[in-house]
Structure 1
Amino acid sequence: MTGDIGQGAGPRRELRAQASGDSRILQVGGDYYETAKEPERRALTTLPPPPAHLVGRKEQTDQLLDLLDPTAPGTSAAVVAGLAGSGKTALVLHVAHEAVTRGWFPGGALFLTLHGYDPARRLEPDRAVGTLLRGLGVTDEKLPATLDEQRALYQAELASRAQRGEPVLIVADDAGDTGQVLPLLVGSRLHRLLITSRHSLDPVALAARHLRLDELDPDPAAALIAAALIRTNPDDPRPARDPAALAEIAASCGRLPLALVIAAALLTADPGLPLAALADQLSAEHTRLAALHYDDQDGHSLAVRAAFDLSYQRLPPDPARLLRRLSCNPGPDISTEAATVLNDGAPARPVLAALARAGLLTEQPVGGDRWRLHDLIRLYATHQHQKIDDTQERQEYLARLLRHYLTTAEAADNHLWALTGEAVPARFAGRTEALAWLDMERSNLLAAVTLAAVISPAFASPAVGILTAYLLWRRYFTDALTLAEHALAAERELGNRHGGARALNNLGLALRKVRRFEEAIDAHTEAVTVFRELDDRHGAARALNNLGLALRKAWRFEEAIDAHTEAVTVFRELDDRHNEGKALNNLGLAFWKVRRFEEAIDAHTEDVAICRELDDRYGEAQALDNLGIALQEVRRLEGAIDAHTEGVAIYRELDDRYGEAEALNNLGSALREVRRFEEAIDALTQAVTVFRELDDRHGEGKALNNLGLALGEVRRFEEAIDALTQAVTVFRELDDRHGEGKALNNLGLALGEVRRFEEAIDAYTEDVAICRELDDRYGEAQALDNLGTALREVRRLEGAIDAHTQAAAIFRELDDRHGESRVLKNLGLAVERDRRSRWMRRMWRLVVSRRGTGRATRPVP
Structure 2
Amino acid sequence: MSNRITSGVFFSAVVMGRDIQVTLPAEIRPALTGLPRPATVFTGRDTQVDALLAGLSPDGGDGSVLVSAVAGMAGVGKTELVVQTAHRALRRPGWFPGGVLFVDMFGYDPERRLSAADALLGWLQAIGIPGEHIPAGVQDRARLWRSVLDAYTSQDRRLLLIIDNAATEDQVTPLLPGDPAIAVLVTSRHTLDIDARLHDLDILDTDAAVALIREVITHRRSTEDPRLHAPDQQEAMTDLADELCAGLPLALRVVAALLADRRHLQPAALAGRLRDDQARLDGLSRQQVAVRAAFDLSYQHLTDDQALLYRLLPVNPGPDIATKAAAALTDLPVDRVAVLLEDLHRAHLVDEPAADRWRMHDLIRLHAAGQPATSPDETPIARHRLFTHYLHNTEAANTHLTPTDPTDTTRFPSRQDALRWLDAEHDNLVAVCVSAPVHDLPHIAIGLAFALAHFLNFRRHFTDWITITTAARDIYRQLGDRHGEAQASSNLGLALAEVRRFDEAITAHTTARDIHHQLGDHHREGMAWNNLGLTLAEVRRFDEAITAHTTARDIHHQLGDHHREGGAWGNLGLALAEVRRFDEAITAHTTARDIHHQLGDHHREGRAWNNLGLTLAEVRRFDEAITAHTNDLEICRQLGDRHGEGMAWNNLGLALRQVRRFDEAITAHTTARDIYRQLGDRHREGRAWGNLGLALAEVRRFDEAITAHTTARDILGQFGDRHREGMAWNNLGNALQQVRRFDEARSCWEQAGDAFTETGDAESAALVRTLLDKLES
TM-score by length of 2: 0.90
In structure 2, which of residues 83, 90, 106 is the aligned counterpart of residue 93 of structure 1?
83
* Distance change >3 Å, CA 151–CA 714, structure 1 → 2: farther
Residues 170 and 193 in structure 1, CA contact (< 8 A), matched pair in contact too: yes
1:744 aligns with 2:761: no
Counterpart selection for 2:357 from 370, 391, 407: 370
Letter of the 1:172 counterpart: I
> Aligned AA for 1:514?
V
Deviation readout 1:727-762 (Å, 9 max, x if unpaired): 233333332210122223333433444455554444
What are the equivalent positions in structure 2 for 1:458-537 lying under 5 Å apart? 458-537=443-522
How much has 1:154 moved relative to structure 2?
A: 4.3
Deviations 1:564-598 (A, max 9, x none): 22223333334444444443333332223222223
Query: What SS does the aligned partner of 2:101 have?
Result: strand
Secondary structure, in 3 states, of the residue corresponding to 1:371?
Answer: strand
Deviates more, 1:471-480 or 1:214-223: 214-223
Q: Name the aligned partner's letter for residue 64 of structure 1.
A: L
**Which amino acid letter does the alignment assign opposite residue 262 of structure 1?**
V
Deviation at 1:552, TM superposition (A): 1.8
Pick one of 331, 352, 362 that aligns with 2:341.
352
Contact kept, 8 Å, 2:133 with 2:720, in 1: the verdict is no
1:69 aligned to 2:60? no
Task: Report the Cα offset of residue 440 of structure 1.
Answer: 0.8
1:846 maps to which residue?
A: none
CA deviations on 1:781-821 (whole Å, 9 max, x unpaired) are 33334344434xx2xxxxxxxxxxxxxxxxxxxxxxxxxxx
User: Which amino acid is 2:367 matched to?
Assistant: Y
> What does residue 3 of structure 2 align with?
none
TM-superposed CA distance for 1:709, in Å, is 2.0
CA distance in 2, matches of 1:617, 1:152: 47
Tell me how far apart the structure 2 counterparts of residues 282 and 624 of structure 1 sit (CA, whole Å): 77
Query: Given that residues 481 and 507 in structure 1 are in contact (C-alpha distance below 8 angstroms), is that contact kept between their aligned partners in structure 2?
Result: yes
Aligned equivalents of 2:112, 2:552: Cα separation in 1: 40
Distance across 2 between alignment mates of 1:106 and 1:265: 37
What is aligned with 1:213?
201
What is residue 107 of structure 1 aligned with on the other side? 98
Residues 283, 289 of structure 2: 8 Å contact kept: no
Deviations 1:518-556 (A, max 9, x none): 111112212222222222223323332222222222222
Pairing partner for 1:306 from 293, 296, 302? 293
Note closer, same or farther for the CA distance 1:646–1:254 as it changes in structure 2 (3 Å cut).
farther
Cα shift readout 1:417-449 (whole Å, capped 9, x = no counterpart) = 0338x3535221121111111111111111111
SS at match of 1:202: coil
Change (3 A) 1:268 1:561: same
Q: Distance in 2 between matches of 1:113 and 1:579?
A: 47
Q: Is the 8 A contact 2:246 2:284 kept in 1?
A: no
C-alpha distance in 2, partners of 1:621/1:666?
13
| Cα-to-partner distance string for 1:142-187 (whole Å, 9 max, x where unaligned) | 8646567765664455334423433221222222333333343244
Size of the aligned set, in residue pairs, is 754
Is 641-650 or 90-99 further displaced after alignment?
641-650
Out of 265, 280, 288, the residue aligned to residue 272 of structure 2 is 280
Picking from 317, 342, 355, the partner of 1:330 is: 317
Question: Which of 258-267 and 220-229 deviates more?
Answer: 220-229
Tell me which residue corresponds to 1:202: 193
Match of 2:769 in 1: 784
CA–CA separation in structure 2 for the residues paired with 1:668 and 1:619: 21
In angstroms, what is the RMSD of aligned CA positions? 2.9
1:445 aligns with 2:445: no
> What is the identity, as a one-letter code, of the residue corresponding to 1:513?
E
CA offset at residue 450 of structure 1? Answer: 0.7
Contact preservation (8 Å) 2:717, 2:725: yes
* 1:26 shift after superposition: 5.5
Which sits farther off after the overlay, 458-467 or 171-180?
Answer: 171-180
Conserved 8 A contact 1:282-1:306: no
Measure the CA separation in 2 of the matches of 1:545 and 1:165. 49
Q: Is 1:166 aligned with 2:151? A: no
> Following TM superposition, by how much is the alpha carbon of 1:139 offset from its aligned partner in structure 2, in angstroms?
6.8
Question: Which residue number in structure 1 is paired with residue 752 of structure 2?
Answer: 767
> How many Å apart are 1:495 and its aligned residue?
2.7
Asked whether the equivalents of residues 34 and 730 of structure 1 are also in contact (C-alpha less than 8 Å), the reply is no
In 1, the alpha carbon distance for the partners of 2:693 and 2:49 equals 54
Q: Distance in 1 between matches of 2:399 and 2:543?
A: 34
| Structure-to-structure mapping, 1:631-650, within 5 angstroms | 631-650=616-635
Aligned-residue offset at 1:116: 2.8
Hey, what's the Cα distance between the residues in 1 that align with 2:435 and 2:613?
47
Name the counterpart of 2:259.
267
- Residue 430 of structure 1 is matched in structure 2 by 414
1:831 aligned partner = none
Which of 542-551 and 82-91 deviates more? 542-551
Q: Which residue is 1:621 aligned to? A: 606
After superposition, where does 1:50-61 map in structure 2 within 5 Å?
A: 50-61=38-49
Decide whether aligned partners of structure 1 residues 594 and 79 sit closer, same or farther in structure 2, where only a CA change above 3 A counts.
farther
**What's the CA shift for 1:416?**
0.7
Residue type matched to 2:341 in 1?
Answer: L
Aligned partner of residue 90 in structure 1, secondary structure:
helix
Structure 1 gaps, min length 5: 1-22, 295-299, 795-861
CA positional deviation for 1:559:
1.6
Q: Bigger shift: 283-292 or 72-81? A: 283-292
SS of the residue 1:327 aligns to: helix
Identity %: 44
Displacement after TM superposition at 1:287 (Å) = 0.8
Q: Would the aligned equivalents of 1:143 and 1:475 in 2 still touch at CA under 8 Å? A: no
- Paired residue secondary structure (2:669): helix
Q: Which amino acid aligns with 1:699?
A: R
Does the 8 Å contact 1:50/1:90 carry over to 2?
yes
Deviation at 1:239, TM superposition (A): 4.3
Q: In structure 1, the residue corresponding to 2:348 is in which secondary structure?
A: coil
Gap change, CA 1:126 and 1:670, over 3 Å in 2: farther
Distance 1:27 1:495 in 2: 44
Matched, 1:188 2:179: yes
Which residue of structure 2 aligns with residue 17 of structure 1? none
2:765 alignment partner AA: E
TM value normalised by structure 1: 0.82
Structure 2 CA distance for aligned equivalents of residues 198 and 578 of structure 1: 60
2-structure distance, mates of 1:693, 1:208: 43
Q: In structure 2, what is the Cα distance between the partners aligned to 1:788 and 1:545?
A: 43
Which letter does structure 2 place at the counterpart of 1:331? G
Q: Does 1:84 align with 2:74?
A: yes
Note closer, same or farther for the CA distance 1:142–1:498 as it changes in structure 2 (3 Å cut).
Answer: closer
- The structure number with the bigger radius of gyration is 1
Instruction: Please say if 1:415 is aligned against 2:400.
Output: yes
How far did residue 695 of structure 1 move? 4.6
| Structure 1 pair 355–45 and aligned structure 2 pair: CA distance change class (3 A) | closer
Contact 2:71 2:191 in 1 (8 A): yes
In the TM superposition, 1:389-404 aligns within 5 A as 389-404=374-389
Classify 1:498/1:67 alpha carbon distance in 2 versus 1 (closer, same or farther; 3 Å): same
Aligned residues of 1:419 and 1:617 also touching (Cα < 8 A): no
Rounded to whole Å, the distance in 1 between the matches of 2:115 and 2:635 is 41
> In 2 relative to 1, CA 574–303 (structure 1 residues): closer, same or farther, beyond 3 Å?
farther
Aligned residue for 2:30, secondary structure, equals: coil
SS in 2 for 1:388: coil
For residues 310 and 576 of structure 1, do their structure 2 counterparts lie closer, same or farther at Cα, with a shift above 3 Å needed?
A: farther
Q: Within 1, Cα distance between the matches of 2:562 and 2:238?
A: 76
